[in-house]
Structure 1
């Protein structure tokens, strides 16, 4: 444990996983082996454990992770945020971190259209930075890309910050014990630390880049940026002031910037106008 974290009260976190998901379930099993857990009970949970060391609940549910819209009802009242352990589908082998939300009219994988989840930029940044370190330590970095993902899928309606940490991108990777260990070690290491003091040179909304936004990922790793929602180039046609309001106002940490990759002129004008109206720095990543 980080000596600086001793004596500080860490936020209570609910770590949620799916019994239907081999990546989710496998990482949860490795996390249970990391420290001492006491059994508990939570509504809807098939199993539940609590650890004083990481100040977290670990609960398994018989639903897919994109269907976890019931977490507010299941969660202990003292929990301040949710970390969801999950598989990731599509693309090359990846270790990813992202927020949920449907920035547009489609809601193909849970949640509501035009709705974004609450975010905690320092928590996401701590998870991504640590995931990369752990992947390097465990010899996975040459095989797996460690990356943010742009905001996508459900759940969207929860009232507490929600971040997904994932293993992708196929069944071959979902069942790998070394990937499970990397995810578990990442979550354990972050929650054992003073992660609420994670360095954020900027707290930003991200605009542009691909679904796996390399520029924003480098911003977190190299420039110590922290992000609320990231809107990929594939959803820019839907970006409006309401979505920007959600991305700014649903952040646990105060957003001070909008950082963009290469984006169309019309979107650039929209975000510059929005930033000027709300006193936000607007610039390239």
Structure 2
């Protein structure tokens, strides 16, 4: 199975992680059951296009995180709303990779120097056509250029791939709650769910059935469970989500 590790020359955290990868001696080749290829882009990763990338099963984008807390984050790509300010297309989700995402989450939390959290699905690229994961370091220049943080991400990536053994039949999509999805993160770690798309409460409009369906369909593998932050949604939002996922045959898990 071929995985492309995608770096940006314009991103300080991405450059740090690229340096840590080179320092490790891993610049492609075989790791565990995976064949790795290293890709360096001259543009911001959120604006990557399919023609920028080689053929692969999955793309892991290594990037800086911009926000309000220092942490390592993981998330799927997509624009649930009507705008696409940071790459991709409006009202379009990229393809999630729940199994590899779960392996990376577990590896990142092992002896981590920073908190590790899933973020809700956001920004581009959305049109690659293959599973994509963003793995990020945030939030300051000091974080982005930290050799220790970059090495931790690279070690975690190597650990995730060499020890890759995700739970079977546990792929899930998530709905509700805030952008920093700490509740879904903890539940995934303790209960063994492999999380793909996370659609936050701010992105769900009553009657948005296309978004519910996209969170299910745009995932490889497709989820069999829908995790719902019950108190993190209003009544009309819950009805939209539950009706949508049950129509697609998913089992609902209320958090």
What TM bracket, shorter-length normalisation?
over 0.9
CA–CA distance in 2 between the matches of 1:81 and 1:265?
A: 36
| 2:160 counterpart residue number | 190
| 1:34 counterpart residue number | 24
- Does residue 51 (structure 1) correspond to residue 19 (structure 2)? The answer is no
RMSD: 1.6
- Structure 2 unaligned regions, length at least 5: none
TM-score by length of 1: 0.84
- Per-residue CA distance 1:150-191 (angstroms, 9 max, x = gap): 001111111110000000011121111111111111112222
| 1:174 counterpart residue number | 144
CA–CA distance in 2 between the matches of 1:238 and 1:175?
A: 42
| 1:124 counterpart residue number | 101
- Structure 1 unaligned regions, length at least 5: 1-10, 38-49
- Does residue 94 (structure 1) correspond to residue 74 (structure 2)? The answer is no
| 2:203 counterpart residue number | 235
SS at match of 1:211: coil
Change (3 A) 1:36 1:151: closer
> Residues 173 and 195 of structure 2 are in contact (CA less than 8 Å); yes or no, is this contact kept in structure 1?
yes
How much does 1:24 deviate? 0.6
Change (3 A) 1:24 1:36: closer
CA–CA distance in 2 between the matches of 1:239 and 1:13?
A: 36
- Per-residue CA distance 1:225-253 (angstroms, 9 max, x = gap): 11121011211227711111211111111
- Does residue 110 (structure 1) correspond to residue 87 (structure 2)? The answer is yes
SS at match of 1:55: strand
TM-score by length of 2: 0.93
CA–CA distance in 1 between the matches of 2:64 and 2:171?
A: 27
Greater Rg over alpha carbons, structure: 1
Query: What is the count of residue pairs matched by the alignment?
Result: 251
| 1:205 counterpart residue number | 173
How much does 1:275 deviate? 2.6
Change (3 A) 1:191 1:202: closer
Match runs of 1:199-278 below 5 Å: 199=167, 202-237=170-205, 240-261=208-229, 262=231, 263-278=233-248
CA–CA distance in 2 between the matches of 1:223 and 1:155?
A: 30
How much does 1:22 deviate? 1.2
- Does residue 156 (structure 1) correspond to residue 136 (structure 2)? The answer is no
How much does 1:129 deviate? 1.1
Choose 80-89 or 265-274, whichever is displaced more.
265-274
> Residues 98 and 221 of structure 2 are in contact (CA less than 8 Å); yes or no, is this contact kept in structure 1?
yes
